[in-house]
Amino acid sequence: MSRIRPYRPTDRAALYEICVQTADAGGDATGILPDDSLWGDLFAVPYAERHPDLAWVVESDDERTIGYIVATDDTDAFYTWFRDEWWPGLQERYPRSAEPATREERMVEYGYERAPGIEPNAAEYPAHLHIDLLPETQGQGLGRGLMETLFAELTRRGVRGLHLGIDPNNAGAAAFYERLGMTRLPAAPGGQIYGVRFDG
């Protein structure tokens, strides 16, 4: 039986692997971009680096890491750190395009745009997360278990709310978050954001 445990630094490579294997609206995105690491460099590993205390993984019976949840309890503070400390070390690997046109260029631009104040929902829903599970984990309640573990820790810290963005093409994810009591929040065109409050 798979189990949930706190993140360890030795899980870092698995975060990259799981992130790319679930990045295409829940499906495998391997090879979609010239550099598969970009997914993890944006959406998984920086969270575990900044907030290892807000990261948990699913470990299989044979001790493989097969899912994770990573989060920040303060989006604006996280984006300040991302802009000032995380992303500068990757700018040579991911140069900025003058007019981002390809999917990779738009994702790289997303990295360059991270800054405090960019997410309007952060004032009322300051935390945000990323969760990814390989197909073999599904149907065991592990996604719910990861979410409830994070929710409990954020509530303990007195965080008032949490938001997350999803790929609008991932209908399964939308249904999952709605079952957890999350509701739709305002989003930019083409985006889909859910939120939940912890302060009643």
Domain range for 34 is 3-197
Cα separation, 59 vs 149, in Å, equals 15
Q: Tens digits of per-residue pLDDT, 38-60?
A: 999 999 999 999 999 999 999 99
pLDDT of residue 171: 84
Query: Which is it for the CA torsion 5, 170, 182, 49, positive or negative?
Result: positive
The type of residue at 54 is: L
For residues 65 and 18, the answer to whether their CB atoms sit within 8 Å is: yes
DSSP H helix total and E strand total for the chain: 7, 7
- Report which of 14, 17, 85 is spatially closest to residue 46, judged by C-alpha positions: 85
- For residue 80, what are the CA distances in angstroms to 74, 77, 102, 168? 10, 5, 26, 27
Domains in the chain: how many in total? Answer: 1
Q: Tens digits of per-residue pLDDT, 99-120?
A: 999 999 999 999 999 999 999 9
Conformation bin of residue 16: beta by default, left when phi > 0, alpha when psi is -120 to 50: alpha
- CATH number, domain with residue 169: 3.40.630.30
Indicate the average pLDDT of the chain.
95
Supply φ then ψ for residue 146, to 5 degrees.
-60, -45
Q: What SS3 state is found at 63?
A: coil
Cα separation, 22 vs 132, in Å, equals 6
pLDDT of residue 200: 64
The predicted model gives 149-160 an average pLDDT of 97
Predicted TM-score of the model (pTM): 0.95
